[in-house]
Amino acid sequence: MNKISRRDFSVSLTGIGLAGIPSLGAAQSKDSSYPTKPIKVLISVPPGGTMDVLTRAIANAVRESLGVIILDHKSGANGNIAMEAAKAAEPDGYTLLLGTMSMLAMNPHAYKEFRVDVFKDFEPITLASRFELAVCVHPSVPAKNMSELVAWFKANPSKASMASYGAGTPSHFLIELLAAETGIKIQHIPYRGATPALQDLLGGQILVAISTVGQVIAAYHDKRLNILATTGAKRSPFLPNLPTLVESGYPKLVASAWFSYLAPKGTPKSIIDKLNASFNKALQSREVRAQLLTNGMYPEGSTPAELAKIMRDDYAYWGRASKLLNFTVS
């Protein structure tokens, strides 16, 4: 059986003639007045989820420096529709993309037809937040930890199924990785988002799922579902009494997801810098931090270069995972 090793995860102006100075001054003036109209952020899921919460909280926090931010929901194809729309937008700072790890690091490997180059088509702005996932079971499942769940799957192969919040998402990848690690044939049940998957889990239509910590933590505290493990390298501070998959005997199964802001390639550096400063300041505000932490997300913030490195590192890791699993989404 193949095992997957986790990774230990200027423009210089010279010789400008007098004739070139007016156009340079006009460009600087144009960029310095940015923005002069609402900024649109493309989001890859319907309203109401954690991505929506994240974007609305930050939009409110940056109103003073950036003005009005409009959320444009372009759901479908695990974010590919939103990415293609962002790629085609004018690089003027008025169309941004809220990108996820699955969109930028997983989709390029998972989809046979992928019409975006995440490194050539976008300008990184900042890493917005990180979050972990959780292995959840309906209370009727007789398993209190991962060992008992695996034993239950082996004893009941017809019930060996797990739901994800979408084909090609981190939850889907983790299901396939768990199947490879345990040697169990696990049926994958994809949902169009974490909310409908949670509703069916609570209703007993599905018995096991991998979802985001923020999505399921309230139901866990209300004892409407059980969480067997979380997926980070360390225990989740939101669920410190629960083990990770690493502690549960699966040292190769580590995954945290993230949200980020990007702009179409060619967006002026002065605009990227202003967006970066505004978003990073918002992520440190009390209101935004409280909103994100309430939803199981850690506020982050980064330089564009730091986000670019995170993208490349995760792109490489999930590329290796895809090849080892022969993982594709039609």
State pLDDT tens for residues 213-265: 988 999 999 999 999 999 998 999 999 999 999 999 999 898 889 999 999 99
Residue 29, pLDDT above cutoff 60: no
Query: Span 145-169, mean pLDDT?
Result: 94
Who has greater pLDDT, 252 or 160?
A: 160
pLDDT score, position 330: 62
Confidence of residue 54 (pLDDT cuts 50, 70, 90): confident
**How many angstroms separate the CA atoms of 189 and 136, rounded?**
14
pLDDT score, position 295: 85
Phi, psi of 53 (to 5 degrees): -60, -45
The kind and range of the H/E element at 164 are strand 161-164
Residue 15, pLDDT above cutoff 70: no
CB-based burial label for 221 (10 Å; 0-12, 13-18, 19+): exposed
H-helix segments, the chain: 21-32, 50-61, 63-66, 80-88, 101, 107-110, 146-155, 170-182, 194-203, 213-221, 269-283, 286-294, 304-325
Residue 73, pLDDT above cutoff 70: yes
pLDDT score, position 70: 95
Q: Percentage of residues in the chain with pLDDT exceeding 90?
A: 70
Residue 31, pLDDT above cutoff 70: no
pLDDT score, position 323: 86
Contact assessment for residue 311 and residue 9, using Cβ atoms and an 8 Å cutoff = no
Domains within the chain, CATH numbers bracketed: 37-131+257-325 (3.40.190.150), 132-230 (3.40.190.10)
Q: What's the one-letter identity of residue 248? A: S
CB-based burial label for 293 (10 Å; 0-12, 13-18, 19+): middle
pLDDT score, position 50: 72
Residue 305 DSSP SS3: helix
Contact assessment for residue 153 and residue 160, using Cβ atoms and an 8 Å cutoff = yes
Predicted TM-score (pTM) of this structure: 0.82
pLDDT score, position 289: 94
Sequence-separated (6 or more) residues with CB below 8 Å from residue 76: 44
pLDDT score, position 30: 53
Residue 115, pLDDT above cutoff 90: yes
Residue 22, pLDDT above cutoff 70: no
pLDDT score, position 23: 40
**How many angstroms separate the CA atoms of 251 and 5, rounded?**
9
How do 95-100 and 161-164 pair as beta strands?
Answer: unpaired
Who has greater pLDDT, 124 or 12?
A: 124
* Whole-number average pLDDT of the chain: 88
Structure tokens at 330: 């039609």
**How many angstroms separate the CA atoms of 216 and 135, rounded?**
10
Who has greater pLDDT, 13 or 273?
A: 273
Confidence of residue 141 (pLDDT cuts 50, 70, 90): very high
CB-based burial label for 312 (10 Å; 0-12, 13-18, 19+): middle
Residue 14, pLDDT above cutoff 90: no
Gyration radius of the chain's alpha carbons: 21
Residue 312, pLDDT above cutoff 60: yes
Q: Percentage of residues in the chain with pLDDT exceeding 70?
A: 90
Residue 90 DSSP SS3: coil
Residue 11, pLDDT above cutoff 50: no
Of 58, 55, 52, 40, nearest to 283 (Cα)? 58
Structure tokens at 302: 């980064």
Residue 197, pLDDT above cutoff 90: yes
Structure tokens at 306: 């730091």
Structure tokens at 123: 């300008």
176-185 pLDDT per residue, tens: 999 999 999 9
How do 256-264 and 161-164 pair as beta strands?
Answer: unpaired
**How many angstroms separate the CA atoms of 198 and 32, rounded?**
46
